[in-house]
Amino acid sequence: MPTTPVCYRHPGRETYIRCTRCDRPICPECMRDASVGHQCPECVNEGRRGVRPARTAFGGGAAGRHGYVTKTLIALNVLVMLLSIASARSGTAVAGGSGLGGLLGSSTPLTDWGAVLGQAVFPDGTVGGIAQGQWYRLVIAMFLHYGLVHLLLNMWALWVLGRTLEAVLGPLRFLALYLIAGLGGNVAVYVFSAPNHPAVGASTAIFGLFAAIFVIMRRLGRDTSAIVPILVINLIFTFTVPGISIAGHLGGLVTGAVMALVLAYAPRMRRTIFQAAGGAIILVALLGLVIVRTAMLTG
């Protein structure tokens, strides 16, 4: 006399439902909806392992559509701004400085510590700056701002540009683009600006994103007519508003464009290797500029 089948995972439960993939009996608790019928948990997991994760047109992960890196960068900049305000000894850390008619904030102990500064003599008589081994300034400076207006302008641009670029590049490639562009802008400040003139701000990276979105959109065959006027307006501000680092903006723009070209035009067969190698070459070139400039200031 035939016996009633029982679930292979729960022997005490009778069932007439079978996995459409392996034909084993499964109870309602174990069955998983599939494109056709139901499958057992093991077959579902096996199917997932055989499916390649979705990638963007440039090899990045599809998680970039959520904008996690963009949101994290904004949160980090806001946190550093709060720390900068907390470190200040005056009420002008938020606004009341000399830039943009007084809208920008003044320097704080934190911005003094992390700003791009080639070489200078501090009030206590010590000599400091990048030329004296404080290379951390080349990275830290892109997360520091002179006041809330400075911060808000850059974070608005990062929010608009970052989400689009992160979605098409993927999280890791977008983060690499942002950091390398910001570093390139800060290196340009170190190389081409007065050694005792400090500079901070995410605008070095932001200008790199401006260049990158133009390159990426052109590579995808999309219309870039709306990007050009915005970029031109920002360049006009760069050259006409006192206190803005021309070297930093242009350095970030050029570095971002070069990195975007590497990401966008890497050959498909060896895309990841080519992109990683291209980013490494850019970093080595920036390192070379820093070494040469340091030798000039200390020689």
Please tell me whether residues 2 and 123 are part of one structural domain.
Answer: no
- Identify the active-site residue in 87, 203, 225, 245: 203
Q: Is residue 39 part of a domain?
A: yes
Please tell me whether residues 19 and 115 are part of one structural domain.
Answer: no
CATH code of residue 135: 1.20.1540.10
> What residues contact 14, with CB distance under 8 A and at least 6 apart?
4, 5, 6, 7
In Å, what is the CA distance from 242 to each residue of 15, 151, 236, 239, 246?
A: 78, 17, 12, 8, 10
Residue 51 has pLDDT above 60, yes or no: no
Q: Does 197 qualify as catalytic in the annotation?
A: no
Arithmetic mean of pLDDT, 231-245:
77
Domain count, the chain: 2
Please tell me whether residues 85 and 9 are part of one structural domain.
Answer: no
Residue 297 has pLDDT above 50, yes or no: yes
Q: Record the pTM.
A: 0.79
Please tell me whether residues 28 and 80 are part of one structural domain.
Answer: no
Please tell me whether residues 67 and 45 are part of one structural domain.
Answer: no
Q: Is residue 74 part of a domain?
A: yes
Q: Is residue 87 part of a domain?
A: yes
Please tell me whether residues 24 and 109 are part of one structural domain.
Answer: no
Top mean-pLDDT range of 55-69, 215-229, 254-268: 254-268
Please tell me whether residues 131 and 179 are part of one structural domain.
Answer: yes
Share of the chain above pLDDT 90, in %: 48
Alpha carbon distance 60, 168 (integer Å): 7
Q: Is residue 138 part of a domain?
A: yes
Which residue segment(s) compose the domain that 93 sits in? Answer: 63-298
Please tell me whether residues 111 and 167 are part of one structural domain.
Answer: yes
Please tell me whether residues 83 and 194 are part of one structural domain.
Answer: yes
Residue 239 has pLDDT above 90, yes or no: no
Residue 102's pLDDT band, with cuts at 50, 70 and 90, is very low
Please tell me whether residues 37 and 70 are part of one structural domain.
Answer: no
Residue 97 has pLDDT above 60, yes or no: no
Q: Is residue 58 part of a domain?
A: no
Q: Is residue 57 part of a domain?
A: no
Residue 151 has pLDDT above 50, yes or no: yes
- Summary mean pLDDT of the chain: 86
- Identify the active-site residue in 38, 145, 150, 249: 249
Alpha carbon distance 179, 204 (integer Å): 9
8-state DSSP, 39: E
pLDDT of 294 = 95
Q: Is residue 56 part of a domain?
A: no
Alpha carbon distance 59, 273 (integer Å): 11
Please tell me whether residues 122 and 180 are part of one structural domain.
Answer: yes
**Angle between helical axes of 171-192 and 271-298 (0-180°, round to 10):** 20
Place of tokens 């998983």: 32
Arithmetic mean of pLDDT, 91-114:
68
Cβ count within 10 A of residue 8? 17
Please tell me whether residues 134 and 271 are part of one structural domain.
Answer: yes
83 against 18, higher pLDDT: 83
